Amino acid sequence: MKRCDCGLTLSQLRALHLAELAPQDELALSKQAGNCASCQARLHSMAKERERFLDETDILKESRAVLDRLTAQTSPPSWRDKLAYLWRPQILAPLAAAAILLVVVIPRLPNQTDGLGNRTKGSKGMVMPPPLEPKIALKMYVKDRNGYHTGESGEVLKEGDQIQFRYNAGGHRYLIIASLDGRGLLSPLYPDTPTQSIQVRSDGLHVLDGSVILDDAVGPERIFALFSDAPIQFQELQAALQNQPNAKNVERLDLKRDDVDETTIMIIKE
Amino acid sequence: MSDRLARQEEIAELYRRYGHVVLGRCRFLLGDEEAARDATQEVFVKVMRSIEGFRGEAQPSTWLIKIATNHCLNLIAQRKAKWRDRFKRYVEHMEAGGFLAGADPERARIVKKLLAKFDLETQQVAIFYYIDEMTQEEIGAALGRSLPTVRKRLKKFQRVAQKELGHEAL
């Protein structure tokens, strides 16, 4: 290993740059570095890097994000957390509005009888607003020979194109992604083995580690992303697929679990 | 100041002082700016979790660099998934250029090119030795390994470097 001719290492220079040394060491190393053009250049490079970092980085935002991650990782979701999901403003407000609608706005309907004196409350004319869907999302970013772009469902891609995924778990804590090809073959993507969901960050838009390079198989591929509050086994996806009338042309896996929300992206490989 | 605000300020101070060093290491190893910034946040999470265990036997920057290096190497290892029938995964970031402030660029390039051939610990030893220019003793202390073990890892790296790139590559 070649060190600088003056004998100073990058670690020492870094300590000098960061003012980590005891005063007498700092004095000695500063003198040594001061006589060395290479070390001066390296110190200058580190100073420029710090300047650029401080210019480009919103320190408050980053520190807040770190603290959020720290807090989120220290406690697993309890039943209260899961219940708390229902009390989020984007869930609660529409539910409250729906409740008000039912109680106040919808007129009372005449009770119906079955001829035996038993009365049944009518529900004719009552229209329930659809439940608010959590804002799950799976976004696709494509790198091809032209560079990077945001991918769209239905996009035509080629062998060698690279896809990176970003997700919003919409409050869920687990994610499993699988792809279904034109032959009806389901393959795991995240995780990449047929095991169970990976744990993810429950809100905000985040990058999934790793990327996928497309192989030479052609035809349509549907990518399913299933977000849940408890892990989903890959076998559950396979079972759901088998229950579909047309396994090659499935648009929803539909696991019949209350804690699961699903989204898909279609790509066409040529 | 509330507890949360105090912690946030503690993290902010770490970012101001060491953020560029950590991001630089993450950027160098991961190659992708967004991945590097995400990894930087994760590194500071780890730092905050283990800060009370930092015994001060090394410079704080050495400790931070070690956490950042390990985190990124683990990320890279996780990305190298087994071949799948339908998709193959390839980590292009290992080929991407990555400037590391203060480091010898040619040596950094060579080390990065070879990293993928080794286990995690050998990768750590190579980075600390050739990039951070730490002594074998310092590496042993940083990794909690004996000097003979560090030497063994280094010799393994050097053998492959010589074979792959010719003599005197490093």
The answer to whether B133 contacts chain A (CB < 8 Å) is: yes
- Asked if B100 and B28 touch (Cβ cutoff 8 Å), the reply is yes
What is the C-alpha to C-alpha distance for residues A258 and B110, in angstroms, rounded to an integer? 52
> Smallest Cβ distance to B133: which of A3, A48, A192?
A3
Nearest CA in chain B to A51: B20
Within 83-142 of A, beta carbons closer than 8 Å to B belong to: none
Residue B42 has pLDDT above 60, yes or no: yes
pLDDT at A161: 83
Could you tell me the pLDDT band of residue B92, with boundaries at 50, 70 and 90?
very low
Nearest CA in chain B to A10: B132
Residue A147 has pLDDT above 60, yes or no: yes
Could you tell me the pLDDT band of residue A226, with boundaries at 50, 70 and 90?
very high
User: Which range, of A51-55, B42-46, B93-97, B122-126, averages the lowest pLDDT?
Assistant: B93-97
- Name chain B contacts of A54, Cβ cutoff 8 Å: 16, 19-20
User: Which range, of A95-104, B7-16, B45-54, B80-89, averages the lowest pLDDT?
Assistant: B80-89
pLDDT at B153: 94
pLDDT at B84: 30
pLDDT tens-digit profile of A115-135? 444 444 444 444 455 444 457
End-to-end Cα spacing for chain A:
49
The verdict on a CB contact (< 8 Å) between B86 and A66 is no
User: Which range, of A68-77, A141-150, B138-147, averages the lowest pLDDT?
Assistant: A68-77
Q: What is the CA radius of gyration of chain A?
A: 29
One-letter amino acid of B1: M
pLDDT at B24: 93
- Name chain B contacts of A18, Cβ cutoff 8 Å: 17-18, 21, 59-61
Could you tell me the pLDDT band of residue B39, with boundaries at 50, 70 and 90?
very high
The verdict on a CB contact (< 8 Å) between B81 and A212 is no
Residue B151 has pLDDT above 90, yes or no: yes
The verdict on a CB contact (< 8 Å) between A192 and B89 is yes
The verdict on a CB contact (< 8 Å) between A1 and B49 is no
pLDDT at B102: 74
Within 207-266 of A, beta carbons closer than 8 Å to B belong to: 207, 209-215, 217, 221
Half-sphere exposure of A11 (CA within 13 A, CB side): 22
What is the C-alpha to C-alpha distance for residues B30 and B68, in angstroms, rounded to an integer? 11
Contacts for B131 with CB less than 8 Å, ≥ 6 apart: A10, B28, B100, B103, B107, B108, B111
- Average pLDDT, stretch A19-25? 91
Nearest CA in chain B to A159: B87
Residue B54 has pLDDT above 80, yes or no: no
CB atoms within 10 A of CB B80: 12
Burial of A98 (0-12, 13-18, 19+ CB in 10 A): middle
- Average pLDDT, stretch A43-60? 93
pLDDT at B89: 34
Residue A59 has pLDDT above 90, yes or no: yes
Could you tell me the pLDDT band of residue B168, with boundaries at 50, 70 and 90?
low
Residue A76 has pLDDT above 70, yes or no: no
Residue B81 has pLDDT above 50, yes or no: no
Nearest CA in chain B to A41: B102
What is the C-alpha to C-alpha distance for residues B66 and B140, in angstroms, rounded to an integer? 12
Judged by DSSP in three states, A205 sits in strand
% of chain A with per-residue pLDDT over 70: 73
Q: Which of A204-213, A260-269, B56-65 shows the highest mean pLDDT?
A: A260-269
The answer to whether B92 contacts chain A (CB < 8 Å) is: yes
A215 CA: distance to closest CA in chain B (Å)? 6
One-letter amino acid of A215: D
Does residue A130 or residue B116 have the better pLDDT? B116
Q: Evaluate if pTM is beyond 0.80.
A: no
Mean pLDDT of chain B: 80
B19 CA: distance to closest CA in chain A (Å)? 8
Q: What does the DSSP 8-state code read for residue A130?
A: P
> Smallest Cβ distance to A207: which of B34, B102, B103?
B34
% of chain A with per-residue pLDDT over 90: 21
Could you tell me the pLDDT band of residue B104, with boundaries at 50, 70 and 90?
confident
Could you tell me the pLDDT band of residue B93, with boundaries at 50, 70 and 90?
very low
- Give whole-number Cα distances, A154 to A264, A267, A269, B17, B32, in Å: 11, 5, 10, 46, 26
Within 141-170 of B, beta carbons closer than 8 Å to A belong to: 170
> Smallest Cβ distance to B15: which of A2, A59, A210?
A59
- Average pLDDT, stretch B44-50? 90
